[in-house]
Structure 1
Amino acid sequence: MVAVFNKELLSWYLITLKLKETVEANLSKSSAPATPTSDLGARPQPLLLTQGEEGGEERSPSARIARSPTPGPDAEWVISIREKLEQARQVDSACPWAKLSIYRVPKSLREGDERSYVPQVVSLGPFHHGRRRLRDMEPHKWRALHCVLGRTGHDVRAYLDAVRPLEDRVRACYEGGARGLPSNELVLSLVLDGTFALELFRGAAAGEEGGFAALGYSRRDPVFAMRGAMHSVQRDMIMLENQIPLFVLDRLLGVQAGRPDQTGHVAPLAVRFLDPLMPTDEPLLRTDRTRMAAAAEFDPLSGSGLHCLDVFRQSLLRAGPQPAPPRPWHKRWSQTRRVADRRRQQLIHCVSELREAGIRCRRRKTDRFWDIAFEDGVLRIPRILIHDGTKSLFLNLIAFEQCHMDTTNNITSYVIFMDNLINSEDDVRYLHDRGIIEHWLGNEREVADLFNRLCQEVVFDINDSYLSGLSEQVNRYYNHKWSTWTATLKHNYFGNPWAIISLVAAVVLLLLTFTQTFYSVYGYYEPLQQQH
């Protein structure tokens, strides 16, 4: 019995052990991975396909990397790249440059001549707001606002509430969006600066009716009087970085008049105020233009200006017929002859070279200083006045034309034309003697340097110039040999009375010598013929 019992116990033990082995084997098979761990490093991982890739279309490696999860520290790097791309998409869709009109002057233009672009007396707008050296004018801005409130009986909140809805529109006008100023400070600066500018405009426009005294200012006022610092203020108000959008000035003037929605009244006032900066001194024609600017018929500027610099530029170009556009056959080459090098900006030769080719310069009586003409070897150039503010005026006009894509380059074209025309003080002296250049500078050398430095870093296409057709005519005349020979003859033998007398004497002597020779020969052969 003992043996039998041990046999049966051993059988049950063996059966239990077999069942245990079977269960453990099944469990190990179900938990094992599909791919052995040792093969993970050798086998390529399958690409993650998106909806557009399921049909077999392969995406670029960069797209696969961007969409595939990146383990480890690289994940933050990819996330930052995606954030920058999203920011670029938002900027591109918002198109913030579409409404830009007030720019910071590029460094390439302002190098070596900072004072011509940076205000020295008064700041207008956010770019130079709060500068230490311009703070002396801040109390006068508050005086102007106080005078306006006292004269109109309004509360200051009326002006703040009128300007605040324009904040987004104003920020869109400035390069960079005036990010340095918070909302309240920007609105207050627009009210202060705009009111100050309007008081200057109205005081200058009311010159025949008492000027600033009619607005409530003392005759000895240090700022609101047409003397003293007024010229410096005018020069600062023509700088590109020192502008206020014209619609803000229209709104402030409208609130003063009780008609907040009126437009088109500030532009004529601005032109009248900035008239002393005009680069011409034709008194009769300037009077006509000023009268037109002050009249209601000054429609070309009504509601179409961006700021005071733009309005002033339009008044320069619209004082008469617009400059003739470049001829179509010149436009053909504009894509292949883009220039950024001064050596390739040669429109015409300088005055000294033109004179050697028989081309003369004469004054053209018009206040449209850009209206140059050429006919029968005579280059007719309107009179231009050069004073201490001309350099800053032309530099800021050129900077505006370089920055703003929706404008022509007529001022730049004129300045480059004059730059080519003037190479030395002898050229300036000749133009001055002909009544073309009138300057208040020290000497002719300073005038020549002024024109030669105005467009040193300007990118300009000579084929887009309204003077390209005229330059072609001048150069064609210059290259004609007959005109050069005629000019040389006049210069060498008809330059002064003594040269003319010498030439006539030489001709008479030559004729007498020829006559004497003829009769000597004739007297020798005549007897021989009679003998035969």
Structure 2
Amino acid sequence: MENHVAIELEAMVMKAQPLFTAQSCCIYKVPHEVRQLNEDAYTPVLVSIGPLHHGNPRLVTMEAHKQFCCQQLIQKSEASLSDLVSCVQELEPQIRACYSEKIELTVDEFVKVIFIDYCFVIEFVFNYETMLSFQSDSIFSKPWVVKRVMYDLILLENQVPFFVLEKLYNLALLARNRHFPSFTNFVVSKFSFQNEQSVLPPPDTNSIAHFTDLLRYLYLPPFHTRPSRYRRGQLGFGHGGLLVVLGHGASEFVEAGVKFTVNESRQGCIIDLKYEYGILKIPHILLLEDWTEISLRNILALEHCHYPQEHYVFDYVDFISQLINTGKDVDTLVENGIFNNQLGDNKNVAEFFRGLKRNIVVTSYNATYFHISQELDAYYRNPLHKNLAAMKRWKGAVSIGGIVLLILTIIQTVFTILQVVL
């Protein structure tokens, strides 16, 4: 006698298909354990790009503006509307495969959504400076709107594949004017405010998946100079742990004689730390409360999902968070030009960096940072440097004690005079 449940289950599982493959997928829903720490940092406020937030009632207002931008791009395009749409239609299977979630849209619906969004992104980025200079029309004449849309464009869940943006840009604009820069150079120039180290555009555009991935690229050194990595357990610390831990904050290292300076090298990037002979060089980072948290959180979410073996930006955040355990540690880095703190109280900076790395899973560690932590620890444990730190703390304690004693002496003198007078 046939088991009808078994028959139904067999039919069900035979139809099962993987939602995505590691080779093609690059756009993810941020995992719940990461997203719950600050949902606003991963959720678009004004505009949805791609299918993951399409149809959100909070974002419907921007749809008409997206269509207007699409119209503007079509009017200036050398290619016909039919050619532009055909480009997206031909690439629809590859575009759909880039998303980690199953997209509940028909092929035609998906093409329409993606086409409007692609045109909007190109037109918006193309006119970014004009909008900021109050020369645009309608809603984009408001600078806060322009800035917020730019924030929305770098969210991991709000992405479209970079390679199709490039194809449409080439069809619509580059064919018309050969003096236009390549799409990659064009976009990198728009993100110059996030590129303090003047990192050059990637030579291979296929290496960039989308805007979030581009921001991560601007944090990293060139491919051929990226440091090697140690895997869990490779260093033999037991239980598979890495134990790459800084035992002291920046202020304690300074007491021991370590000097902190800004790494001025323009060949590196924001995570390019250098240590030699008691001097730790760290590139300058400008702390902008909104943009810094949004960009770093989405880059870390991308590394968590897409670069589990190459989480270089997480390594940087983790290293800095260990250097700044207290407000005094932050003071040390601010005084030495590493930070330009716009987050308010310096204690907020320490909590800011600690909060960024929560719930991110790591499987390896940056070998360069590991060796820097080992050398810093050895420098601090050197008896000469250790005694210097102890003397500085003792001197501080003596100074505080002397001040207290002076205050008590003054109070006692005042009381003595008052007793005599009265």
TM-score normalized by structure 2? 0.82
Q: Is the counterpart of residue 255 in structure 1 residue 171 in structure 2?
A: yes
**Counterpart in 2 of 1:176?**
101
Is the Cα–Cα contact under 8 Å of residues 198 and 249 in structure 1 kept in the other structure? yes
Aligned-partner residue type, residue 350 of structure 1: G
Candidates 300, 306, 315, aligned match of 1:413: 315
Is the Cα–Cα contact under 8 Å of residues 201 and 272 in structure 1 kept in the other structure? no
SS in 1 for 2:379: helix
**Counterpart in 2 of 1:454?**
356
Distance 1:494 1:336 in 2: 41
Q: Is the counterpart of residue 307 in structure 1 residue 206 in structure 2?
A: no
**Counterpart in 2 of 1:103?**
28
**Counterpart in 2 of 1:373?**
274
Task: Give the 3 Å change call, closer, same or farther, for CA 153–472 of structure 1 in structure 2.
Answer: closer
**Counterpart in 2 of 1:237?**
153
Distance 1:480 1:173 in 2: 52
CA deviation string 1:360-411 (max 9, x = no partner):
3222224522111222222222211110210111111111111014762110
Q: Is the counterpart of residue 186 in structure 1 residue 73 in structure 2?
A: no
Q: Give the gaps of 5 or more residues in structure 1.
A: 1-70, 293-297, 500-532
Aligned-partner residue type, residue 273 of structure 1: K
Candidates 169, 187, 191, aligned match of 1:270: 187
Distance 1:498 1:309 in 2: 50
Aligned-partner residue type, residue 311 of structure 1: L
Aligned-partner residue type, residue 101 of structure 1: C
CA deviation string 1:267-318 (max 9, x = no partner):
222222222234x4xxxx54xx5xx5xxxxx452433211111122213214
Candidates 324, 346, 350, aligned match of 2:227: 324
Q: What does 1:416-435 correspond to in 2, within 5 Å?
A: 416-435=318-337
**Counterpart in 1 of 2:39?**
114
SS in 2 for 1:126: coil
Distance 1:166 1:87 in 2: 24
**Counterpart in 1 of 2:4?**
76
Is the Cα–Cα contact under 8 Å of residues 250 and 323 in structure 2 kept in the other structure? yes
Q: After TM superposition, where is structure 1 displaced by more than 6 Å over at least 4 residues in a row?
A: 327-330, 494-499
Distance 1:87 1:333 in 2: 45
Task: Give the 3 Å change call, closer, same or farther, for CA 357–461 of structure 1 in structure 2.
Answer: farther
**Counterpart in 2 of 1:145?**
70
Distance 1:328 1:108 in 2: 24
Task: Give the 3 Å change call, closer, same or farther, for CA 212–395 of structure 1 in structure 2.
Answer: closer
Task: Give the 3 Å change call, closer, same or farther, for CA 328–167 of structure 1 in structure 2.
Answer: closer
Is the Cα–Cα contact under 8 Å of residues 428 and 447 in structure 1 kept in the other structure? yes
Q: Is the counterpart of residue 477 in structure 1 residue 379 in structure 2?
A: yes
**Counterpart in 1 of 2:123?**
199
Task: Give the 3 Å change call, closer, same or farther, for CA 471–218 of structure 1 in structure 2.
Answer: closer
Aligned-partner residue type, residue 216 of structure 2: R
Task: Give the 3 Å change call, closer, same or farther, for CA 162–383 of structure 1 in structure 2.
Answer: same
Distance 1:347 1:397 in 2: 24
Task: Give the 3 Å change call, closer, same or farther, for CA 253–405 of structure 1 in structure 2.
Answer: same
Is the Cα–Cα contact under 8 Å of residues 366 and 383 in structure 1 kept in the other structure? no
Is the Cα–Cα contact under 8 Å of residues 383 and 437 in structure 1 kept in the other structure? yes
Aligned-partner residue type, residue 183 of structure 1: V
Q: Give the gaps of 5 or more residues in structure 2.
A: 402-422
SS in 2 for 1:191: helix
Q: CA deviation at 1:355?
A: 3.4
Is the Cα–Cα contact under 8 Å of residues 286 and 341 in structure 2 kept in the other structure? yes
Q: Is the counterpart of residue 404 in structure 1 residue 321 in structure 2?
A: no
Name which of structure 1's ranges 114-123 and 307-316 shifts more when overlaid on structure 2.
307-316
Q: CA deviation at 1:421?
A: 0.9
**Counterpart in 1 of 2:250?**
351
Aligned-partner residue type, residue 268 of structure 1: N
Is the Cα–Cα contact under 8 Å of residues 163 and 251 in structure 1 kept in the other structure? no
Is the Cα–Cα contact under 8 Å of residues 333 and 339 in structure 2 kept in the other structure? yes
Query: Highest relative contact order (Cα 8 Å, sep 6+), 1 or 2?
Result: 2
Q: What does 1:219-238 correspond to in 2, within 5 Å?
A: 219-222=135-138, 224=140, 227-238=143-154
Distance 2:367 2:293 in 1: 21
CA RMSD of aligned residues (A): 3.4
Name which of structure 1's ranges 330-339 and 368-377 shifts more when overlaid on structure 2.
330-339
How many residue pairs end up in the alignment? Answer: 395
Is the Cα–Cα contact under 8 Å of residues 78 and 171 in structure 2 kept in the other structure? no
Distance 1:320 1:98 in 2: 19
SS in 2 for 1:233: helix
CA deviation string 1:202-222 (max 9, x = no partner):
224xx5xxx469xxx981424
Q: CA deviation at 1:259?
A: 5.2
SS in 1 for 2:207: coil
**Counterpart in 1 of 2:52?**
127
Q: CA deviation at 1:492?
A: 4.1
Q: CA deviation at 1:332?
A: 4.6
CA deviation string 1:322-373 (max 9, x = no partner):
342236998454995257xxxx663453223323443332222245221112
